[in-house]
Amino acid sequence: MTAIRKEAMEMLERIPEDKLGYVIQIMQGVNGLLEEKERKVKESIDLEQFVMPATERGKDADAYIRELRDNDRI
C-alpha cells in the first residue's frame, strides 16, 4: 500500500459516521469528473477508420430490396 493510500485510509477512519455521506458524495463527484475526461478521450477516436467502403453490389441493395418488396417476394 502506498503512503498516500495509507494516509487516505487513516483519514477516512477518523471521519465520524454521520459525516461519511458527505465524503462519499465528494468522492463520487471527483470520480465523475475523472470518468468525463476519459469519455472525452474515447470520443476523440476516429471511428470512420472502421467503416468499410461501399461496393458496387452494396450501392444497389436498397433498390433491390424495394423491388422485392414491391413484387411481394419478401
Question: Is the CA virtual torsion 65, 71, 73, 74 positive or negative?
Answer: positive
Single out the residue of 2, 26, 28, 29 nearest to residue 15, CA to CA.
26
Work out the percent of the chain whose per-residue pLDDT is above 90.
1
User: Would the pTM count as exceeding 0.85?
Assistant: no
Question: 39 pLDDT exceeds 80?
Answer: no
Q: Give per-residue pLDDT as tens, 6-34.
A: 998 898 889 888 888 888 888 888 888 77
Q: Alpha helices, DSSP H only, in 1-74?
A: 3-14, 20-43, 56-59, 61-70
